[in-house]
Structure 1
Amino acid sequence: LLGFYKGILPPVLAETPKRAVKFFTFEQYKKLLGYASLPPGLAFAVAGLGSGLTEAVVVNPFEVVKVTLQTNQNAFTEQPSSFVQAQQIIKTGGLGFQGLNKGLTATLGRHGVFNMVYFGFYFNVKNILPVNKDPNLEFLRKFGIGLVSGTIASIINIPFDVAKSRIQGPQPVPGEIKYRTCFKTMATVYKEEGFLALYKGLLPKIMRLGPGGAVMLLVYEYVYAWLQDTV
C-alpha cells in the first residue's frame, strides 16, 4: 500500500511555495503589464505565462526528486529518503540539466502553458459572464469557470507533462539517454507511439486539476478580496 505514496515528500514540501509563487507572481506580472497598454484579456494570459515560467524554475528540482523516487522499484521501506535521493542526484548529475534541473525546458512548457490558459481563460470568461447577485449561485459560477479552466489547461499542456516524465524518469536503455530535450522527446513519442501517446495520463490529470484548479482560484479570489477589505 505504501508504494502508492512513493515520492510524497517532495510535492508536499513544494506545494505551498509553488502555489504562493503561482498567484503572487501572477499579480506582479499583471501589474507590470499594466504599463504596457495591453488589452486586459491578453494581459491575463501573458501574466499567467510569466507566473508559470517562474513557478517551473522553483518546482523543477522537487519534480526530479519525486519522479526518481516514484520510478524506484524497491519497496517503500527500502528506498532512500527524499533528502538522500536529492544528494545522490546532485552527486551524479550536479545541479544542471543532467542533475537536479533535468527536464527544466519541459517543466517550463508544462507550467507556462498551463498557467497561460488557466488564468487567461478564467478571468476573461468571468468578466464576460454576468455576475449573479445570489452568493451561492455566484460561487457556483466561479467554480464552474475554474473547473473548465483547469480542464482545458490540462488538455493543452499534457504533451509537455509527458515529455517531462520521459526526460526525468528512467531511460529505456540503462546508461543511454534517449529523451533529452522537450520538443525532441515529443517528436520521438509521436513517431514511435503515435499522437495519442502524447496524451497518456490525461484522465487522472483532469480529475486532479479540473476541480483542484477551481478550488485554487476560488480560495485565491475570496482570500484576496478579504485581504483588500481588512488590510
Structure 2
Amino acid sequence: MAAAADKKNMPIPFKVTFVGGAIAGISEILTMYPLDVVKTRIQLQDNNAKGADRYNNMFDCFKKIVKQEGFSRLYRGISAPILMEAPKRATKFAANDEWGKFYRKAFGVDKQTQALSVLTGATAGATESFVVVPFELVKIRLQDKASAGKYNGMIDVVKKIVAQEGPLAMYNGLESTMWRHITWNAGYFGCIHQVKSMLPKQETKKGLMLNDLIAGSVGGAVGTILNTPFDVVKSRIQNTTRVPGVVPKYNWTLPSVALVAKEEGFAALYKGFVPKVLRLGPGGGILLVVFTTVVDYWKSMQP
C-alpha cells in the first residue's frame, strides 16, 4: 500500500510529461480537427460575406465545405497542426508541471492551490505560445477558403510568407497568440484543479479516468469561453498578408478586439464559438485522459 502511494506521489520527469503531452495532443487533433477548420472559416468571415460564401452556422459551414470543396477540405492544413501538436501539447503539460514546481517552491507551499493552478496555467500558456505561432500561421493560411490555388501545401506557405513578408513574418500574431493561450491555459488548469476537488473520490482506474474526462472537459469549455475573442482576432491577424509600409487593419490584439466589436457587434467576438467549444471541451477531456494514462503507465513501469 505504501509503495502504491509512493508511486502516486512520485515526481514526474520532464521527458515523461513531454512525451505524454505529445501523445495527448496528437490524439486530440486527429479526433477533432474538422471542427477547427469550421471554427476558423467562421472566424475569418465578416459581415460582407454573401450567398454561397456566407456560413450561417456550424452545420451550414460543414455542408458548404463538403459540397463546394469536397470532404478532404475538412482536413486541409492538418500537416501543420500534426507537426505542431507534439511540441505544443508537450510544452503545455511540461511547462505547467515545471512552472508548478517553481511557484510552489517560490511561495513556500507543498500542494497546488486554486490560485497557483491559474497562475501556473497562464505562465505555461505564455511559454507554449512561442512554440505554436509559426504552425498556427501556416494552418490559418491553409484553412482559409481563399487559399485554394494560392498555396500548394505547408512548405509552400512557409516559402511564400518568407519571400513576400520576410522571415520575421512567421511570428506574425505572437502577441494575440499569447493572449489566447494565457487565458485558455489559466481557465483550463485552474478549472481542472477546482473540478477534481469537487468530484467524488475514485479508487478504480475507470473512475479516475471518468473524473479526468469531466474535469478536462469543463476546463476546456471554460478556457474556450475566456479566450475566444482573442482567437477570433488572432485568426484575422495571421490571415493578413503584410505589405511593407502599410499598417494592417488587424494588428494588435486589444485594438482589434475593439474594432471587431465596433464594426460587427460584440457577438462577432464569439464567431466560431460552437465548433470551438465542441472541440476544446471534449478535446480538453481527451487531452487530460491520454496524458494521465501515459504518466500512469510510466509510473507502473517503475520498480
For normalisation by structure 1, the TM-score amounts to 0.89
Is 1:83 the counterpart of 2:155? The answer is yes
Is 1:148 the counterpart of 2:218? The answer is yes
Is 1:95 the counterpart of 2:187? The answer is no
Distance 1:50 1:176, change over 3 A: closer
CA distance in 1, matches of 2:91, 2:212: 22
Query: If you compute each CA radius of gyration, which structure gives the higher value, 1 or 2?
Result: 2
Is 1:131 the counterpart of 2:204? The answer is no
Aligned pairs for 1:151-230 (under 5 A) are: 151-170=221-240, 177-230=248-301
Distance 1:177 1:7, change over 3 A: same
- Alignment match, 1:64: 137
Q: 1:52-110 CA distances to partner (integer Å, 9 max, x unpaired)?
A: 1111110100111111122253546x7322112102111222233xx111111111111
Q: Any conservation in 2 of the 1:166–1:185 contact (CA below 8 Å)? A: no
3-state secondary structure, aligned to 2:172: coil
3-state secondary structure, aligned to 2:146: coil
CA distance in 2, matches of 1:108, 1:178: 20
CA distance in 2, matches of 1:206, 1:14: 20
Q: How many residues align?
A: 225
The sequence identity of aligned pairs, in percent, is 37
Moved over 6 A (4+): none
Q: Which segment is superposed worse, 121-130 or 144-153?
A: 121-130
3-state secondary structure, aligned to 2:231: helix
Q: Which segment is superposed worse, 119-128 or 134-143?
A: 134-143
Q: Any conservation in 1 of the 2:141–2:147 contact (CA below 8 Å)? A: no
**Unpaired segments ≥5 residues, structure 2:** 1-69
Say which of 88, 109, 120 aligns to 1:47: 120
Is 1:26 the counterpart of 2:91? The answer is no
**Unpaired segments ≥5 residues, structure 1:** none
CA distance in 2, matches of 1:187, 1:74: 27
Q: Any conservation in 1 of the 2:92–2:125 contact (CA below 8 Å)? A: yes
CA distance in 2, matches of 1:70, 1:176: 24
Which amino acid counterpart does residue 92 of structure 2 have in structure 1?
Answer: K
Q: 1:1-52 CA distances to partner (integer Å, 9 max, x unpaired)?
A: 1333322211111111111111111111011111122662212111111111
CA distance in 2, matches of 1:226, 1:9: 28
Say which of 81, 88, 109 aligns to 2:179: 109
- Alignment match, 2:87: 17
For normalisation by structure 2, the TM-score amounts to 0.69
By relative contact order (CA 8 Å, sep 6+), the higher-ranking structure is: 2
- Alignment match, 1:73: 146
